[in-house]
Amino acid sequence: MHRADKIVELEALLKKAMAITIQLKEELPSTSSGRNPAHFVDIERSNHLSEAGIQTVYTLFERGHSCEEVAQVIGISVRGAQNRYNIWKAGG
């Protein structure tokens, strides 16, 4: 496969991934901050993910979403998503 073909293929995959991200974000109920309260222990006083939030993050990783996409959809930092990714990858 030529380099140009690979670039076209990657661009198509990126476009598809972003479409899925947008769709997921639209499907999730949100607060005025754009964050789903079901994903957090106490959204008003805590940034800690609830068990439902953690499972949603892991599901997104299983579906092949990047840390950046997960962070955007869930409403957490990229670093927080990376930490969850490392835990998920380790089987946790």
pLDDT above 70 as % of the chain = 73
For residue range 23-65, list pLDDT tens digits in order.
776 665 554 455 666 566 665 566 788 888 889 899 999 988 9
Residue 37 and residue 29: Cα distance in Å, rounded? Answer: 8
Is the distance from CB of 39 to CB of 49 less than 8 angstroms? yes
Residue 91 Ramachandran class (φ > 0 left, ψ -120 to 50 alpha, else beta): left
